[in-house]
Amino acid sequence: MEYTTLQHTDIEVSKICLGTMTWGRQNTEAEGHEQMDYAVDQGINFFDTAELYPIPAHPDRYADTEKIIGTWFKKNGNRDKIVLASKIAGKADFTKFIREIGFTRETVTNAVELSLKRLQTDYIDLYQLHWPDRNTNFFGKRGFEYDLSDHWKDNIHQLLETFRDLIQEGKIRQVGLSNETPWGLMRFLEESKVHASLPRTVTIQNPYSLLNRQFEVGLSEISIREKVGLLAYSPLGFGTLTGKYLGGMKPATSRITLFPNYTRYSNETSVKATEKYHKLAQENNLSMAQMALAFVNTRPFVTSNIIGATTMDQLKENIASIDVKLSDEVLAGIEAIHDEFPNPAP
């Protein structure tokens, strides 16, 4: 395994992060425990979860993923060996069963307290806002469209004050964002620069894959110059970049088959691009999944690559991508396909 650090901290994390959002829906508690056991044996020390998980969100399964991680910590007594990240869900129609208002001191503090209980721990290493409180472009929206009815009141200073107090209480260690835009990231950074007592944002968790490289436009420069590491999620595009959906295939237990509304990586242009990436991988005797993950692993702005799996074979293949080194020829081939099909899956 390779390791890096969360920027501006001394917290060392594995370059591969174990994603958990299928545990409690597509995976049982026992399977979640098995995945964590194997990941740790392979040198992974970084887990990412959220109060919203498992996905799709549902009141009957609310926060079951955090509970599964909590029982694993209790069983193994190894909390101190894991860098743990979690998130608070934003305001949305599909999260009304969690809370009906956005981020406030009360909602954030309460969410942290509940996550700590479920996770059976005293602290969370990295606490993230799952998506912005305001109306902007995320979750598959290409561009920002201003809504005249949007009366969002800037609450970023108050949020950072809340995070500062939670850090001082020892309940969280660092702060990160997710599904954030360049404006949002810089707004958080500038607030902590002007007010030195406020915590600095150290990570941003956004989608990044061969099918979605929008992070490279705007956010990558901020990431490098301001030293805010990307935690890349969906590096396989809901499994699309494994090739398992090519030719119209619909594996019975796959995510897109089970949840057909997840169409982010299934449009016609994404399919054409995936076919080209698949051919490139075959021509170079590579697994397409490992080629896709290895590409993400090598990007200079990536702190950790969040992989997820529903089977142990998938997990083993994904983790092993850390040992795959892409040739100049393969990298040139990837760029040629990207030039032909730039960011087909926003």
Tens-place pLDDT, residues 195-207? 999 999 999 999 9
pLDDT tens readout for residues 10-39: 999 999 999 999 999 999 999 999 999 999
Query: How is residue 311 written in tokens?
Result: 């089977």
Distance CA(105)–CA(103), nearest Å, equals 7
Separation of first and last alpha carbons in the chain: 30
Query: What pLDDT is attached to residue 265?
Result: 86
Query: What pLDDT is attached to residue 270?
Result: 94
Query: What pLDDT is attached to residue 150?
Result: 79
- Which has the higher per-residue pLDDT, 300 or 143? 300
Query: What pLDDT is attached to residue 71?
Result: 98
Active-site entry in 3, 38, 53, 62: 53
Greatest C-alpha distance within the chain: 55
Query: What pLDDT is attached to residue 64?
Result: 97
Query: What pLDDT is attached to residue 38?
Result: 98
Check pLDDT > 90 for residue 60: yes
Instruction: Note whether 305 and 297 are within 8 A (CB).
Output: yes
53 flagged as catalytic: yes
Q: How far is CA 104 from CA 88, 154, 167, 336, in A?
A: 11, 11, 16, 46
Helical H segments across the chain, by residue range: 29-41, 64-76, 105-119, 156-168, 182-194, 219-226, 255-258, 268-283, 288-297, 312-319, 328-340
Taking residues 297-316, what's their average pLDDT? 97
Taking residues 61-73, what's their average pLDDT? 97
Query: What pLDDT is attached to residue 137?
Result: 82
- Average predicted confidence (pLDDT) for the chain: 95
CB atoms within 10 A of CB 140: 14
Query: What pLDDT is attached to residue 346?
Result: 86
Distance CA(289)–CA(49), nearest Å, equals 22
- Which has the higher per-residue pLDDT, 246 or 163? 163
Query: What pLDDT is attached to residue 21?
Result: 96
Query: What pLDDT is attached to residue 255?
Result: 74
Is the preceding peptide bond at 342 cis, omega within 30 degrees of 0? Answer: no
Query: What pLDDT is attached to residue 251?
Result: 76
The pLDDT confidence band at residue 343, using thresholds 50, 70 and 90, is very high
- Which of 92-106, 126-140, 249-263, 330-344 is predicted least confidently? 249-263
Is the domain spanning 3-340 CATH 3.20.20.100? The answer is: yes
Taking residues 45-70, what's their average pLDDT? 96
- Which has the higher per-residue pLDDT, 248 or 85? 85
Q: Which amino acid is at 125?
A: D
